Amino acid sequence: MSSNKVQQGHVFLIKLTSSRQLVNASVTIDNRTIALQAEDGAYWAVFAFSRFANIAPLGKRTAAARGTDAQGNVATDSAPVELAAANFTTIHAEGVPTAFDPSDYNKEEQIMAPIRNTISPKQLWQGLFARPVTTGTITSEYGQTLIWEDGSSSSHEGTDFGGLPIGTPILAANDGVVVLAQRLVVRGNAVIIDHGLGVHTGYYHMSQILVNKGDVVKKGQVIGKLGDTGRVTGAHLHWDFIVNGLNADPMEWTTHVFTTTPR
227 & 129 share domain: yes
DSSP state of 168: -
Q: Which residues pair with 208 in a beta bridge?
A: 225
131 & 23 share domain: no
95 & 79 share domain: no
What is the pLDDT confidence band of residue 261, given thresholds at 50, 70 and 90? Answer: low
Residue 216: φ, ψ to 5°: -90, 125
Query: How many CA atoms, within 13 angstroms, populate the side-chain half-sphere of residue 126?
Result: 8
- The total of other beta-carbon atoms located within 10 Å of residue 205's CB is 25
Percent pLDDT > 90 in the chain is 71
- Least confident range from 57-66, 83-92, 160-169, 253-262: namely 253-262
How distant, in Å, are the alpha carbons of 92, 111, 140, 154, 228 from that of 150? 11, 31, 21, 12, 26
140 Cβ partners below 8 Å, 6+ apart?
156, 159, 160
Residue 262 lies in a domain: no
What one-letter code names the amino acid at 130? Answer: A
- pTM, whole model, 2 decimals? 0.93
Smallest Cα–Cα separation from 117: which of 33, 191, 181, 174?
Answer: 33
Distance between CA atoms of residues 37 and 73, nearest Å: 19
45 & 128 share domain: no
pLDDT at 99 over 80: no
Exposure class string for 168-190: b at 16+ Cβ within 10 A, else e: bbbbbbbbbbbbbbeebebbbbb
182 & 61 share domain: no
How many domains are contained in the chain?
2
Distance between first and last Cα of the chain: 23
Domain that holds residue 22: 4-84
Residue 227 lies in a domain: yes
On average, the pLDDT of the chain sits at: 91
Residue 156 lies in a domain: yes
* Boundary (domain end) residue, out of 34, 52, 84: 84
CATH code, domain with 79: 2.60.40.10
What one-letter code names the amino acid at 12? Answer: F
How distant, in Å, are the alpha carbons of 123, 219, 225, 256 from that of 127? 11, 10, 25, 8
**What are 45-78's pLDDT values in tens digits?**
999 998 888 788 999 999 999 999 999 999 899 9
CATH code, domain with 143: 2.70.70.10
pLDDT at 2 over 50: no
Distance between CA atoms of residues 187 and 109, nearest Å: 11
Q: What is the pLDDT of residue 163?
A: 95
Distance between CA atoms of residues 96 and 98, nearest Å: 7
* Boundary (domain end) residue, out of 84, 104, 136: 84
233 & 111 share domain: yes
* Boundary (domain end) residue, out of 62, 84, 106: 84
- Least confident range from 30-34, 80-84, 102-106, 157-161: namely 102-106
CB distance 124 to 177 below 8 Å: yes
**What are 128-185's pLDDT values in tens digits?**
999 999 999 999 999 998 888 788 778 889 999 999 999 999 999 999 999 999 999 9
Q: Is 116 helix (H, G, I), strand (E, B) or coil?
A: helix
Smallest Cα–Cα separation from 229: which of 188, 192, 191?
Answer: 188
CB distance 72 to 26 below 8 Å: no
120 & 211 share domain: yes
